[in-house]
Structure 1
Amino acid sequence: MAADRGRARSGDGKPRPDRSGPRGAGDRKGYQGKPKPERDRRDRGAPRDESPSTRESAHLSKAIVGELQATARPGKAEDLVKVFGQAAQAFLEEDYAEAIRLGEQSKQMALRSASVREVLGLAYYRTAQWSETVREISTFRRIAGSQEQNHVLADAYRALKKPDKALDLVDMVEKGKVDEQVFFEAQIVAAGALADMGELDRAIARLEGLDLRPPVARDHHLRTWYVLADLLERRGRYTQAKELFEAVAGADPEVTDAPERAARL
């Protein structure tokens, strides 16, 4: 259902308080992209309703409905599609407690569903329940054989004070095998893990090695600029940090503290 992209925590290791990080995890401002729930859906197409069960969850793609039906316990396929559809909708509406409640119900009906374990893990991530995030996203990875959520799993390990494990996970994310946004988010988490280990220069180099001058800056570019600016400021490279904070402020002035941070430098 969802690739939780753009949720990596800021360079100082503190989660961001809004949609871009786990809810309730802190009050420090960091870069957060404008809310775009639809971007979290792996398959954005809403298929035509073909059965009562899919009418209950019209936002699920045909592929996801098929995966749910294939992994459901005997006699539970229709109930699973309905309950999981409600869980996915709760997630998109940012009602993460409800998404967890319904996701756990879905899991009991389909322990081997990658879609269920992914959404459940992301809901736990948004509520800063790190051990549960690790459990569910690790299971998703084993079932799906996917790198799409490595950055989320790695960020949970960072929160559990295991930056070395976080770094191992994001190092597995290969450019060209995932969406550009996922690759950038993995590098943001990698930089954060390196900073956690006291390796500021390596953290900065990790982000400076990315293409930071795209023709059109997207949310993941702005997040990278913000985190890099934060790291540069911590390293004492104030002029470069100011330039990046100003670039973020110029592109998206209302949803970050970049204008204030630039003004202080």
Structure 2
Amino acid sequence: MPIPEDVTGYEIDKDVQQELQSLPKGLAEDVAKNLVMVARLIDEDPEGAYGYSRVALRLASRVAAVREAAGFAAYANQKYNEALAEFRAARRMTGNVELWPVMADCERGLGRPEKALDMAGAPDVNKLDKAGQVEMRLVAAGARRDMGQLDAAIVTLQSPELASNSVQPWTARLRYAYADALLAAGREDEAREWFAKAVESDKDGSTDASDRLAELDGVEFVDAFDDSDDSDDEGAPSAAGLDTEDDEDDEDEEDDEDDEVRDAK
């Protein structure tokens, strides 16, 4: 796949660059460039990112960072079985537990929420940092919802991190998930409160909490720049309509003149 000229390969994380040093220089540069493209496209063009990840995987399948990138690209394309295999390979290579939550979420994607819950209770969770533990909690709550256990999902999300007033990178998503679970359980007033809290903490727009809040408040957004034909027809009277009325008046005047001519005869 073509690589844009502005991509050098040095844009990737230094730790990944260090991993690639085990490869011949030319090969390392090619792999690095493909990994840059994966990171660049994964949000806006998941299919494109997946293509670049497959190239990197073909070039350097024994590099953990490559397997991890391939896993995330597959995950973004909902190829959960493939993603899980790549994450497991990366974990075997590094012994790192950071991928544990996303591996559990792959189990959810494969229709195995019970397996995700088992992973949420595994000793590996205790080795995760705070962000990883919050992510695991989100996955576990999602698994509960998959199983129709709405009340259990709500309880799963109730935590010191949720109650904290400090805003962390995970705060908006945690509050949003809690609000969504409350709404699914029919607790609309509480859901509105937590969607509002999610909006307060969502500085980078990572959720659609503001839209959900507006929906609960019954706010409808109208496109002020909509220039469709329908909007024109429903607005001011058309020129054709005005001309029609004038024509009708002219026709009435002509009929009156004809009547006068006939009377004179």
TM over 0.5, yes or no?
A: yes
Superposed CA offset, 1:68-110 (max 9, x none): 233x4xxxx3233222222222123224334333322322333
Pairwise CA distance, 1:261:
4.2
| Residue matched to 2:236 | none
Query: Retained in 2: the 8 A contact 1:229–1:242?
Result: yes
Match of 1:174 among 80, 101, 125: 125
Considering only CA atoms, is the larger Rg found in Structure 1 or Structure 2? 2
**Mean CA deviation greater in 106-115 or 95-104:** 95-104
Residue 236 of structure 1 pairs with residue 183 of structure 2: no
CA separation in 2, counterparts of 1:79 and 1:124? Answer: 26
Superposed CA offset, 1:43-80 (max 9, x none): xxxxxxxxxxxx9321234432232233x4xxxx3233
Residue 156 of structure 1 pairs with residue 106 of structure 2: yes
CA separation in 2, counterparts of 1:145 and 1:169? Answer: 16
| Residue matched to 1:63 | 15
Pairwise CA distance, 1:119:
0.6
**Tell me, what secondary structure is at the counterpart of 2:10?**
coil
Match of 1:139 among 74, 89, 94: 89
CA separation in 1, counterparts of 2:121 and 2:199? Answer: 30
Gaps of 5+ in 1: 1-54
CA separation in 1, counterparts of 2:105 and 2:36? Answer: 24
Corresponding letter in the other structure for 2:197: A
Pairwise CA distance, 1:262:
3.8
Query: Retained in 1: the 8 A contact 2:108–2:116?
Result: yes
**Mean CA deviation greater in 155-164 or 206-215:** 206-215
**Tell me, what secondary structure is at the counterpart of 1:217?**
coil
**Tell me, what secondary structure is at the counterpart of 1:97?**
helix
CA separation in 2, counterparts of 1:201 and 1:121? Answer: 32
Query: Retained in 2: the 8 A contact 1:229–1:245?
Result: yes
CA separation in 1, counterparts of 2:110 and 2:141? Answer: 16
Residue 87 of structure 1 pairs with residue 34 of structure 2: yes
CA separation in 2, counterparts of 1:234 and 1:60? Answer: 40
- CA gap of 1:63–1:247, structure 2 versus 1, over 3 A, is closer
Corresponding letter in the other structure for 2:53: G
Residue 206 of structure 1 pairs with residue 156 of structure 2: yes
Match of 2:168 among 218, 236, 239: 218
Pairwise CA distance, 1:198:
2.0
- CA gap of 1:67–1:261, structure 2 versus 1, over 3 A, is same
CA separation in 2, counterparts of 1:194 and 1:154? Answer: 13
Corresponding letter in the other structure for 1:223: R
CA separation in 2, counterparts of 1:233 and 1:97? Answer: 33
| Residue matched to 2:242 | none
Pairwise CA distance, 1:189:
0.8
- CA gap of 1:224–1:68, structure 2 versus 1, over 3 A, is same
- CA gap of 1:207–1:169, structure 2 versus 1, over 3 A, is same
Corresponding letter in the other structure for 1:154: A
Query: Retained in 1: the 8 A contact 2:34–2:55?
Result: no
Q: Tell me the TM-score normalised to structure 1 length.
A: 0.68
CA separation in 2, counterparts of 1:78 and 1:122? Answer: 25
Residue 96 of structure 1 pairs with residue 50 of structure 2: no
Corresponding letter in the other structure for 1:60: I
Query: Retained in 2: the 8 A contact 1:83–1:102?
Result: no
Corresponding letter in the other structure for 2:60: A
Give the total of aligned pairs: 204
Query: Retained in 2: the 8 A contact 1:163–1:196?
Result: yes
- CA gap of 1:97–1:152, structure 2 versus 1, over 3 A, is same
**Tell me, what secondary structure is at the counterpart of 1:202?**
helix
The CA RMSD measured in Å over matched residues stands at: 2.4
Query: Retained in 1: the 8 A contact 2:107–2:116?
Result: yes
Instruction: Give aligned-pair identity as a percent.
Output: 30
Superposed CA offset, 1:187-210 (max 9, x none): 111100011112222211111024
Pairwise CA distance, 1:248:
1.6
| Residue matched to 2:198 | 248
CA separation in 1, counterparts of 2:193 and 2:93? Answer: 43
Residue 258 of structure 1 pairs with residue 212 of structure 2: yes
Structure 1 or 2: larger helix share?
Answer: 2
CA separation in 2, counterparts of 1:56 and 1:121? Answer: 23
